[in-house]
């Protein structure tokens, strides 16, 4: 990937945007680094474009900050104060912490490659922490709300088979804890039957998910009513033209349910997966088991549901305890 430095010119803030990002040796190394990542298995053009944008933004900042396009020697001389000045500029521009952390990660990766290639020695980046990301807590539906969503979604469709399809999809999400993408990726050969089914999740990792009879019955009812033939290699859930069901359709149906059932904006198809985990935990489920059922790579991800349970207990305490009134 050939990256050509821009021509400098002008003065002030407008000129800063037109400054040469870096010396030609640095730009050549950056191009090689991006080419290397683009050639990796499962590399994404979107990710490579984001890397390029983040690194060019960093180098442009350094050009203005240092007064000239940085070469390898200048990159080696950077101090933690220089890096913090860059992070401060990013925050001042209104970038979210997640975007800033992603950009800093790209810069770290590029600098590590320069160290491996003996272009620079040591890096101030090792002495600077990434911005702390906000810790999100899952927002599940209550049991009555989750059951109502599964039951009432059929009423939104004029076509009976479409209503049965939507019930089957939401039943899978709430009854088995599937991601929406996992449910819609199922084919005819994956038709749930018996006591369990194999789900292929993120990273093509497979997991065994127990099946409740209500899940099997909901999908069987949909398939009997579906006007399209569903072969072994055909999508299990289809839209009204017989093609694989678009996730946006399911998301739209749940959005339509919110005002009808008095649900919060956080009520989404994914919230049903959160509900599955939270309600299972509240019923005495083991964290390790829930981790396996959800397909989480890390137990720390599953542990977020304990915070939901604790938060709900505190809410009940605040409402019920005599001293809280």
Cα dihedral 240, 244, 245, 246, rounded to 10, equals -120
Q: How far apart are CA 190 and CA 223, in angstroms?
A: 12
Q: How far apart are CA 225 and CA 231, in angstroms?
A: 15
Annotated catalytic residue, options 119, 207, 244, 270: 270
Annotated catalytic residue, options 51, 174, 222, 305: 305
Cβ atoms of 26 and 59 closer than 8 Å: yes
Q: Which two tokens stand for residue 287?
A: 């964290």
Cβ atoms of 157 and 166 closer than 8 Å: yes
3-state SS assignment for residue 120:
coil
Annotated catalytic residue, options 202, 205, 252, 288: 202
Annotated catalytic residue, options 37, 52, 273, 274: 273
Q: What angle do CA 211, 217, 220 make, to 5 degrees?
A: 110
Judge whether 273 counts as a catalytic residue: yes
Judge whether 189 counts as a catalytic residue: no
Task: Tell me the residue length of the chain.
Answer: 325
Judge whether 305 counts as a catalytic residue: yes
Judge whether 135 counts as a catalytic residue: no
Annotated catalytic residue, options 179, 223, 274, 279: 179
In this structure, what DSSP letter does residue 96 have? -
Strands (E), the chain: 196-200, 206-210
Q: How far apart are CA 207 and CA 197, in angstroms?
A: 8
Active site positions, annotated: 179, 202, 270, 273, 296, 305
């Amino acid at each position: 990937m050939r990256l050509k430095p821009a021509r400098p010119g002008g003065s002030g803030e407008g000129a800063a945007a037109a400054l040469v990002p870096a010396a030609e040796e640095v730009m050549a190394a950056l191009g090689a680094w991006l080419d290397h990542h683009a050639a990796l298995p499962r590399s994404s053009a979107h990710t490579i474009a984001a890397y390029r944008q983040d690194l060019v933004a960093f180098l442009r900042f350094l050009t203005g900050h240092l007064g000239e396009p940085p070469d390898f020697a200048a990159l080696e001389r950077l101090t933690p104060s220089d890096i913090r000045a860059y992070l401060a500029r990013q925050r001042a521009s209104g970038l979210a912490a997640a975007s800033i952390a992603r950009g800093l990660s790209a810069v770290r990766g590029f600098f590590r490659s320069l160290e491996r290639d003996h272009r620079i020695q040591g890096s101030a980046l090792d002495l600077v922490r990434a911005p702390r990301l906000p810790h999100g807590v899952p927002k599940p539906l209550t049991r009555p709300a989750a059951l109502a969503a599964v039951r009432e979604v059929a009423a939104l469709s004029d076509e009976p088979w479409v209503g049965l399809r939507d019930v089957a999809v939401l039943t899978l999400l709430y009854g088995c804890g599937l991601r929406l993408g996992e449910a819609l990726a199922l084919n005819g050969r994956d038709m749930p039957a018996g006591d369990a089914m194999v789900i292929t999740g993120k990273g093509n990792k497979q997991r065994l998910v127990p099946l409740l009879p209500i899940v099997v019955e909901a999908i069987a009812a949909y398939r009997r009513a579906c006007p399209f033939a569903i072969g072994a290699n055909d999508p299990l859930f289809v839209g009204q033209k017989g093609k694989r069901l678009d996730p946006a359709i399911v998301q739209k149906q749940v959005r339509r349910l919110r005002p009808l059932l008095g649900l919060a904006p956080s009520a989404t198809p994914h919230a049903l997966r959160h509900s599955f985990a939270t309600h299972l935990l509240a019923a005495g489920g083991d964290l390790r088991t829930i981790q396996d059922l959800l397909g989480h790579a890390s137990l720390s991800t599953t542990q977020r549901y304990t915070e939901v349970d604790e938060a709900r207990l505190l809410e009940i305490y605040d409402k019920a305890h005599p001293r809280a009134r």
